[in-house]
């Protein structure tokens, strides 16, 4: 049985990863400083500790590493640029070093589509990165480190740029979680209004279901087509406006001005990932309508 070490396993994507990986017969070793939340899937073995405290002995015999652990949330990293940079970069280099020492077969790093910044859409992996806030710059630094470790140290790495990920147990600070909560409490959802130069009123995003994201990661683990620090967009390839999202929930809308770190339109080119045999399956509007039906039935 092949073994995968997953950092940040107590988070939203950790929950989905455990389910899909175990279904495919992998042994999952989860690491997180937080306990596994109630209702989440559980790894085969769990180490509750800071990622920085992992040592070589902890990862002996591990085949793959998926490094979810990160100080997330763009506004938080913007408020705390020094602390978040130290935390995110130090622990990620620590994990790359452990992976190199242990001879791990592949290191998977989840990055962000926010790196495309103000590049024109649709966004391709070969576009120059334009981070416009600390969170994205930190991700870019580790992307470059992954490529360096592949070239210099022969550590196979793959980089995924996540677009707007949604699904069960998503973080409370995500837009869809906030929308669902507002709808449940009978409050309007808050949408940021685009600039006068735009041809659309609300932001546009490329939404991708968490389970589809995990299937993309698992597709690359044992693929001999990737492992040299390649960047892969993980998205649906379909753009939805935030107004459409609110409509799918049947929610009232309250408009606020655009924030400085927000890009108005996200759209991905996903041909690189499609070429590996992966396909997105879950439609965000259908998923939201399903969630809305479940919540209304529970009332």
CATH 3.90.25.10 domain position(s) in the chain: 171-206+237-268+281-298
Q: What pLDDT digit, counting tens, does each position of 180-209 carry?
A: 888 888 898 888 776 644 555 678 899 999
| pLDDT exceeds cutoff 90 at 74 | no
Q: What pLDDT digit, counting tens, does each position of 9-52 carry?
A: 999 999 999 999 999 999 999 999 999 999 999 999 999 999 99
**Which residue stretches of 108-241 are H helix?**
134-153, 175-184, 210-221
At residue 251 the predicted structure's pLDDT band, cuts being 50, 70 and 90, is confident
CATH 3.40.50.720 domain position(s) in the chain: 3-165+207-234
Q: Which fold has domain 171-206+237-268+281-298?
A: UDP-galactose 4-epimerase; domain 1 (3.90.25)
For the ranges 95-99, 229-233, 249-253, which has the lowest average pLDDT?
249-253
Q: How far is CA 29 from the centre of its chain?
A: 19
Name the residue with higher pLDDT: 188 or 264: 188
Average pLDDT, the chain: 92
Q: What pLDDT digit, counting tens, does each position of 139-177 carry?
A: 999 999 999 999 999 999 999 999 999 999 998 878 888
Residue 37 contacts residue 71 (beta carbons within 8 Å): no
Q: Structure pTM?
A: 0.91
| pLDDT exceeds cutoff 60 at 63 | yes
Residue 95 contacts residue 240 (beta carbons within 8 Å): no
DSSP assignment letter at 9? T
pLDDT at residue number 142: 98
pLDDT at residue number 298: 47
pLDDT at residue number 196: 47
- H helix count then E strand count, the chain: 9, 12
DSSP β-bridge partners for residue 257 = 193
CATH architecture for the domain at 3-165+207-234: 3-Layer(aba) Sandwich (3.40)
Name the residue with higher pLDDT: 289 or 49: 49
pLDDT at residue number 297: 45
């Amino acid at each position: 049985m092949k073994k995968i070490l997953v950092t940040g396993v107590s988070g939203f994507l950790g929950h989905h990863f455990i389910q899909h990986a175990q279904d495919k017969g992998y042994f999952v070793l989860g690491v997180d400083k937080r306990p596994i939340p109630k209702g989440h899937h559980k790894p085969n073995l769990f180490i509750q500790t800071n990622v920085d405290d992992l040592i070589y002995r902890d990862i002996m015999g591990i085949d793959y590493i998926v490094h979810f652990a990160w100080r997330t949330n763009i506004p938080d990293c913007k408020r705390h640029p020094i602390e978040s940079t130290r935390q995110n970069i130090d622990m990620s280099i620590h994990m790359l070093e452990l992976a190199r020492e242990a001879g791990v077969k592949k290191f998977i790093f989840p990055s962000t589509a926010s790196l495309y910044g103000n590049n024109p859409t649709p966004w391709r992996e070969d576009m120059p990165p334009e981070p416009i806030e600390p969170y994205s710059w930190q991700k870019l630094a580790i992307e470059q480190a992954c490529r360096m470790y592949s070239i210099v140290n022969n550590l196979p790495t793959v980089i995924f740029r996540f677009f707007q990920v949604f699904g069960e147990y998503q973080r409370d600070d995500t837009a869809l979680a906030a929308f669902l909560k507002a709808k449940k409490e009978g409050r309007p959802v808050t949408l940021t209004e685009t600039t006068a130069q735009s041809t659309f009123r609300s932001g546009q995003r490329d939404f991708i279901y968490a389970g589809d994201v995990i299937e993309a990661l698992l597709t690359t683990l044992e693929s001999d087509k990737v492992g040299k620090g390649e960047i892969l967009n993980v998205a649906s390839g379909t753009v939805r406006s935030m107004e459409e999202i609110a409509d799918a929930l049947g929610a009232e809308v309250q408009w606020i001005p655009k924030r400085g770190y927000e890009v108005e339109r996200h759209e991905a080119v996903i041909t690189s990932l499609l070429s590996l045999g992966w396909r997105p399956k879950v439609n965000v509007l259908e998923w939201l309508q399903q969630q809305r039906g479940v919540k209304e039935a529970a009332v």
